[in-house]
Structure 1
Amino acid sequence: MFDWNRSCSYDEHQKRRFHTTARSRLKKLAAELGLPSGSYDLRSNKAGIAVSGEITLHHDRAYIQVGQFGMSSGHGILIRTCKGRKDYSGGANHFVALTMLDNIPALAAAVRAITGVGHFSGHSADRHAA
């Protein structure tokens, strides 16, 4: 299991692993949400030596960014609505724990609740039909 809270500051090896692992998890999130290929961008900005940088999944209606910007609070995933892939400020900011990257179904549920983006997996459609 990846240690999301181990600082990337001044640790190039940790930063590389952080970015690689976060990109992989965001790809899994896109799949869990049912986002078609080409309907989102996946970007990585390593930034300077003293910070983690960020990894961003940018859909036409959702902006999800992973970084170690909330270390003291345990938060490090920013989720907000947006109006297209050129909208970098979007709706209100919502933060969840970095460790949610270890539970993609729960993270997808949070993204759906905040943005309305993505399909529900499992039997949730059956609940709405009842």
Structure 2
Amino acid sequence: MEWRYPIKDRTDLEYKARYHSEVKQRLTQFATALGFKDQDYDLRSIKGYDDSSGLIFLTHDELYVSVGQDAFAGWEIKIYFSERRGDRSPTPRLELPIELLDNIPLLVLIANDHLNHKRNLKALQASGPLPS
């Protein structure tokens, strides 16, 4: 799939529909590879204006992923590591090139690295104060 295809023309709704379908399919593969069950996450999309890609979202209790065309950064994947479903805390956040949708194993490796770090930090904090 040509991820960075410019959506400039109002008549290019066929490409936009293919784009949304393909991103949803890749995000489903991503969620499955992370071990999420279907009921563990939501997949939604906003078609956006005629001249934009719109946005596709995957929400889970531990992360929130948005894929689309950012006005400033271009085409990208944003991953927010959250405390509850739908939370888009400003940090920590990853901004990755959209081409990683072609390499789901690498995308999973990157996300798992950050998820494991977050889980370890949470476990450490729950264990009480550290000895001096």
TM-score above 0.5, yes or no:
yes
> How many corresponding residue pairs?
115
Partner in structure 2 of residue 58 of structure 1: 59
Give the match's secondary structure for 1:38: helix
Letter in structure 1 aligned against 2:58? L
Give the drift of 1:24. Answer: 0.3
* TM-score in terms of structure 1 length: 0.78
Letter in structure 2 aligned against 1:39? D
Give the drift of 1:80. Answer: 1.3
Q: Compared with structure 1, are the counterparts of its residues 45 and 13 closer, same or farther at alpha carbon in structure 2 (3 Å cutoff)?
A: same
Mapping 1:31-46, distance limit 5 Å: 31-46=32-47
Do the aligned partners of 2:59 and 2:86 also contact (CA within 8 Å) in 1? no
- Measured in 1, the distance between the counterparts of 2:75 and 2:111 equals 15
Mapping 1:59-98, distance limit 5 Å: 59-69=60-70, 75-89=75-89, 91-98=91-98
Letter in structure 2 aligned against 1:30? A
Query: Which runs of no fewer than 5 residues in structure 1 stay unpaired?
Result: 118-130
Q: Give the helix-richer structure, 1 or 2.
A: 2
Equivalent pairs: percent with the same residue?
A: 33
The structure with more radius of gyration = 2
Do the aligned partners of 1:66 and 1:98 also contact (CA within 8 Å) in 2? yes
With a CA cutoff of 8 Å and minimum separation of 6, indicate the structure with the bigger relative contact order: 1
Letter in structure 2 aligned against 1:98? I
Give the drift of 1:113. Answer: 2.1
Partner in structure 2 of residue 103 of structure 1: 103
- Measured in 2, the distance between the counterparts of 1:87 and 1:73 equals 21
Q: Compared with structure 1, are the counterparts of its residues 75 and 16 closer, same or farther at alpha carbon in structure 2 (3 Å cutoff)?
A: closer
Do the aligned partners of 1:47 and 1:53 also contact (CA within 8 Å) in 2? yes
Give the match's secondary structure for 2:38: coil
Partner in structure 2 of residue 128 of structure 1: none
Task: Indicate whether 1:28 and 2:21 are aligned.
Answer: no
Do the aligned partners of 1:7 and 1:14 also contact (CA within 8 Å) in 2? no
Give the match's secondary structure for 1:23: helix
Q: Compared with structure 1, are the counterparts of its residues 24 and 40 closer, same or farther at alpha carbon in structure 2 (3 Å cutoff)?
A: same
Give the drift of 1:48. Answer: 1.0
